Amino acid sequence: MDYQVSARKYRPGTFADVIGQPHVVQTLMNAVSTKRIAHAYLFSGTRGVGKTTVARILAKALNCEQGPTSHPCDTCDNCREIAQGNSVDVIEIDGASNTSVDDVREIRENVKFTPFRGQFRVYIIDEVHMLSNSAFNALLKTLEEPPAHVVFIFATTEIHKIPATILSRCQHYNFRRIARTEIIERLRHVAAQDQLRLEERSFVALARASEGSMRDALSLLDQAIAYGGKAISHADLELLLGAVPQELVQEFIRAIMTQDSPAALGSLANLLDRGHDLRAFCAEVVEHIRNLLVAAVVPGTAELRSLIETSEDDLNQLSMNAKTLTPEQLQELLAIFIQAEDSLRFSSHPRFVMETGAVRATRLLRRREGTGPLSVQTALSPSQKPPAEPEGRKSGSLTPPVLGQDVPVASRPTPKPTHISREETDERPSIAPGPSHNPPTNVASATMPPIAVGPQPTLQWELVQEEVAASFPNIAPFLEAGRFVGIEGDFISIGFAKQATVARARLEKEENLLVLSKLCERQLGYPIRVRIIELTETHPPGPTMAQIRAAKEQEQRLVLFERAKANPTVKQALEIFGAELAEVRTLTQQEASE
C-alpha cells in the first residue's frame, strides 16, 4: 500500500475514536440513537480539530448497514466507501472551489434523487463560508425544507462569515481546540504504533507547536520522522520546529533569579547568535514565568498538573524554582516581560527592548544596599526577603494631604548624597535637569506644603509639577488631571477620578512612571516609586493639581489687582477718568524694555 501521512492513517473512524470533542460526539450519538436527526448541521472551529472527520463518521452512522446507529461498524461496504471518499450517497464538496450559484443549483437538482445504497444522501460542504451571497440565497429554500432522505453537513473555520439566515436553519456545533494533554496522548499512541523513539519533552514541544490542532501535530511528527528517522532527538526537533531551546529559556530565567545582569545579557547575545527570534523567546519567557507563578500559588501536584501542561520532570523543577520567589515578585517579573512583548511588536530595535527588560528584571529583586548580584540562596533567605507590602499600599488607607498641613514621610535612615550610577541610567530613561525655578511664593506654600518630618528630606510636589511642565510637556496636562494623595513607604500615590481614564492610561505607562519617580528621587535623595490609583469614596475629597494651579493663579491675579489699585498713579487715573480696573498682568522682560 502507498505511504499515508499520519493524519490520514490515524484518522478516527468511529465516534469512540474522536478525541477532544466530547460535547459534539455525545450529542450526535444521542441524536442518531433516538432517531432525532436534523436536516442540516454546521460544524465550526479552527483547523485540524475534527470537523470533516466527524462529518464523515456521522455519514457512516446514518448509512451503515447496521444502522442508523451511533456505533457504525466501519467494516461494511457503505462504511468503507465513505472512509475512502468514493460513496455515491455521501457527496463531499469543496466550498472554496464551488462558490457560484450554478454549483448550488446543481445540488438542488440532485437532492431529489433517493440514496442508491444507504438510507440518506449526505452533502458535506467544507469551507462553506467561501460560498457567495447569491449561492447562499439559492440554497436557503432547499436547506429549510429538504427531502426526508437528505442531510446537509457544513464545515467552516470562519463562522462569522456565515449569513444569519443559514445559521438559523442549521444545528450549530462549535469544535474547540484540542487540549495539549490529549494531543500528547495521541502522539504517544502513534509513536508506539510506528515504533518511534522520542523524549517526553518532545511530545510536549509538538503539542505546543500544534496550537490545539491534531492534524498539525501529526504533520509535524511526520516532518520530524523525515528529518531524523525513527529515533528523534529533542535538539533536532527544536531545530526543525524553529522553537527556542528550553535550555536558553532556563538559562535566562536562572540569570534573573540570581540577579546576574551580565549573564542575562549574555544569554540574549547567545540567542541572537543562534538566529532565534526575540519575539518567540520573549513569549517563552512569559509562559515560563506564568508557570512559576502558578506553581507558587497552587500547592497540590495534582491541581498543578491540570494547570500546567508539561512533562513530570519539568513540573517538579518548576515547583522547586517557584519556592525561591514570592508570588508578588513573580507578578512584577511577569509584568516586565509582558510589557516587553508588547513593545517588541512595534520596536525597530527589538534587542534593546529585550535587554532593557532583562536588566530591569535582574535588578528588581536586588537589595537596595547591595552592590553585586546575589545568589538564589542569599536572595531568598528569610533575612533577605523583600519586606511585605505595607498596609498603606492599599488605596483605601492613603490619606491625601490637607492644605496647610505637613504630611509625614515613612521613617528611614538619612540618605547619602544622591548619585546616579551607570547601571541606574541603563535601567531608567535619563532625565535632563529642567530649568531652575524659584521656590514657590506664600501662595504655593499654602496650597502644597513641603512634606517633611524633622531632618528627613522634603518633597515639594509643586516643584515636581513645574519640572514636568518644563521638561516633559507631553505628560504635564495628564498629571494635572489627578491629585497628590500622599507618601506611604516606598511609594508616592497620585489619585485620579474614575472618569479620568485617558489621563490614567497615559501616566500608567512605564516610561512616564519612571520619569516621575526620577524627579521625586532627585528631591528626596533615595529611590522611590510612583503609582497611579483610582480615587474612591474612602479617599477624602480634594482638589486636583489643575484646580490647585488655577486657584494659585487666581490668588496671584487678586494680589496683582490689589497692588495695582493701591498704586498712586493708577488710583489717580481711575479717579480722573471715572473708570474701573479691568485687567492686570505682569510684563515680560522684552515688553518692559520696549
- CATH of residue 337's domain is 1.20.272.10
| Statement: residue 492 has pLDDT above 70 | yes
Tell whether 386 is covered by a domain.
no
In a 10 Å sphere around its CB, with 0-12 CB exposed, 13-18 middle and 19+ buried, how is residue 159 labelled? middle
Residues 68, 210, single domain; the answer is no
DSSP secondary structure code for residue 395 in this structure: G
Domain boundary (217, 241, 265) is at: 241
Which pLDDT does position 454 carry in this prediction?
A: 42
The CA distances from residue 61 to 9, 32, 53, 476, 526, in Å, are 20, 7, 12, 70, 75
Which pLDDT does position 468 carry in this prediction?
A: 83
Residues 322, 235, single domain; the answer is no
Residues 145, 11, single domain; the answer is yes
Which of 174-178, 269-273, 562-566 is the least confident region? 562-566
Average pLDDT over residues 542-549: 73
Quote the CA–CA distance of 363 and 423 in Å, as a whole number: 9
Tell whether 234 is covered by a domain.
yes
Domain boundary (153, 174, 195) is at: 174
Quote the CA–CA distance of 387 and 259 in Å, as a whole number: 18
The helix (H) or strand (E) run that includes residue 495 is strand 491-496
Average pLDDT over residues 133-149: 88
H runs (alpha helix) in 195-213: 200-210
H runs (alpha helix) in 37-92: 51-63, 77-84
Residues 186, 59, single domain; the answer is no
Which pLDDT does position 325 carry in this prediction?
A: 84
Average pLDDT over residues 251-275: 89
Which of 54-58, 568-572, 590-594 is the least confident region? 590-594
State pLDDT tens for residues 454-483. Answer: 445 567 777 888 888 878 877 888 888 888
| Statement: residue 556 has pLDDT above 70 | yes
Quote the CA–CA distance of 9 and 178 in Å, as a whole number: 19
Q: Between 63 and 445, where is the model more confident?
A: 63
Residues 219, 317, single domain; the answer is no
Which pLDDT does position 593 carry in this prediction?
A: 61
Tell whether 332 is covered by a domain.
yes
Tell whether 71 is covered by a domain.
yes
Tell whether 322 is covered by a domain.
yes
Residues 269, 284, single domain; the answer is yes
Quote the CA–CA distance of 142 and 126 in Å, as a whole number: 18
Q: Which three cell numbers stand for residue 587?
A: 510684563
Per-residue confidence at 240, pLDDT binned at 50, 70, 90? confident
Which pLDDT does position 519 carry in this prediction?
A: 85
Residues 148, 210, single domain; the answer is no
Residues 62, 50, single domain; the answer is yes
Which pLDDT does position 451 carry in this prediction?
A: 44
Residues 325/352, Cβ–Cβ less than 8 Å: no
Tell whether 79 is covered by a domain.
yes
The helix (H) or strand (E) run that includes residue 502 is helix 501-507
Domain boundary (241, 264, 289) is at: 241
Per-residue confidence at 190, pLDDT binned at 50, 70, 90? very high
Quote the CA–CA distance of 426 and 359 in Å, as a whole number: 8
| Statement: residue 52 has pLDDT above 90 | yes
Which pLDDT does position 407 carry in this prediction?
A: 39
Residues 540, 555, single domain; the answer is no
Which pLDDT does position 378 carry in this prediction?
A: 33
Q: Residue 520: which of 588, 464, 579 has the closest Cα?
A: 464
Average pLDDT over residues 8-35: 92
Average pLDDT over residues 506-527: 83
Q: How many domains does the structure of the chain reveal? A: 5
Which of 92-96, 266-270, 303-307, 526-530 is the least confident region? 303-307
The CA distances from residue 448 to 44, 398, 404, 452, in Å, are 62, 17, 7, 12
Residues 148, 113, single domain; the answer is yes
Query: Rounded to 5 degrees, what angle do the CA atoms 551, 556, 562 make?
Result: 125
Find how far residue 206's CA is from the centre of its chain.
23
Tell whether 36 is covered by a domain.
yes
Q: Between 41 and 4, where is the model more confident?
A: 41
State pLDDT tens for residues 192-215. Answer: 998 898 888 888 889 888 888 999
Residues 252, 358, single domain; the answer is yes
- CATH of residue 117's domain is 3.40.50.300
Tell whether 385 is covered by a domain.
no
Q: Between 540 and 120, where is the model more confident?
A: 120
State pLDDT tens for residues 278-337. Answer: 898 999 899 999 989 998 888 777 777 778 877 777 788 888 888 888 888 889 899 999
Residues 168, 40, single domain; the answer is yes
Residues 124/52, Cβ–Cβ less than 8 Å: yes
Residues 512-527 as b/e (b if ≥16 CB within 10 A, e otherwise) read: bbbbbbbbbbbbbbbe
Which pLDDT does position 589 carry in this prediction?
A: 57
Q: Residue 390: which of 487, 455, 483, 535 has the closest Cα?
A: 487
Give the residue numbers spanning the domain of 27: 6-174
The CA distances from residue 72 to 24, 32, 35, 58, 589, in Å, are 16, 11, 15, 9, 96
Q: Between 516 and 400, where is the model more confident?
A: 516
Model pTM score: 0.57
Quickly list DSSP for 428-470. Answer: S---PPPPP-PPP-HHHHHHS--B--TTS--B-HHHHHHHHHH
Q: What is the overall mean pLDDT for the chain?
A: 78
The CA distances from residue 108 to 39, 103, 142, 143, 576, in Å, are 14, 9, 7, 9, 101
- In the numeric block, the cell 502558578 is attached to 294
